[in-house]
């Protein structure tokens, strides 16, 4: 089996948020559990235990890279490597003023991929009071680029104009 991480590219890049990763990892765990608990270690039986969408993505990855999905060693090795790679994904937490659609999430993720690099997923939290923009939290670092923050800054700088009698 090829050790090239590119064989996992499509699968990895299809994961854009922490929720998707959790769901995907959960399905892989289920798949592996079913594989090891089926008599004769039947792969097709194990694949039945997860969603069609995920099965489709997995099948595509195997086909694209000429891998035999029914080869038990290849099968096991593939998912073990995939899980290791998934664990290496870096999480960018974004606090947004609205609940983004899937398309918006894709746009943001693509923007991250193009401008920051690969191997990032998004952890999105919605907080309407930020009004617009985003709070970016990464690797313990915090930056507020929201409209709320901008308004506060404007208010702080022009406070004397708003409240002239403040002592």
Residues that bind another protein in the complex, under the rule CB under 8 A: 92, 94, 96-98, 101, 104, 107-108, 111-112, 115-117, 128-129, 131-136, 138-139, 141, 143, 145-148, 151-152, 155, 159, 162-163, 166
Name the residue nearer to another protein (CB basis): 66 or 139: 139
Smallest gap from Cβ 151 to another protein, in A, equals 6
Nearest approach in angstroms of CB 57 to another protein is 26
Strand order in the sheet with 120-126: 120-126, 90-96, 134-138, 141-144
Nearer to another protein, 6 or 126 (CB): 126
Nearer to another protein, 46 or 134 (CB): 134
- Choose among 88, 73, 71: nearest CA to 8: 88
Closest CA to 121 of 134, 133, 132, 108: 108
Query: CB-wise, 39 or 102, nearer to another protein?
Result: 102
SS3 assignment, position 102: helix
DSSP bridge pairs for 138: 92, 141
Cβ 149 to another protein shortest distance, Å: 10
Place of tokens 């709320």: 148
Nearest approach, Cβ of residue 36 and another protein (Å): 39
Phi/psi at 163 (5° precision): -120, 80
């Amino acid at each position: 089996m090829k050790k090239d991480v590119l064989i996992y590219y499509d699968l990895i890049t299809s994961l854009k948020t922490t929720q998707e990763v959790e769901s995907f990892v959960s399905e892989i765990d289920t798949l592996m559990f079913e594989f090891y608990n089926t008599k004769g270690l039947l792969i097709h039986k194990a694949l039945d235990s997860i969603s069609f969408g995920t099965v489709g993505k997995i099948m595509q990855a195997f086909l694209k890279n000429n891998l035999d999905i029914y080869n038990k060693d290849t099968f096991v090795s593939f998912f073990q490597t995939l899980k290791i790679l998934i664990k290496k994904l870096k999480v960018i937490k974004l606090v947004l003023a609205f609940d983004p659609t899937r398309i918006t999430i894709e746009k943001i993720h693509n923007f991250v991929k193009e401008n920051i690099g690969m191997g990032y997923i998004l952890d999105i939290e919605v907080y309407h009071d930020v009004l617009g923009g985003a709070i970016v939290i990464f690797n313990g670092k915090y930056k507020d680029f929201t409209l709320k923050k901008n308004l506060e800054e404007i208010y702080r700088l022009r406070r004397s104009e708003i409240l002239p009698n403040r002592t």
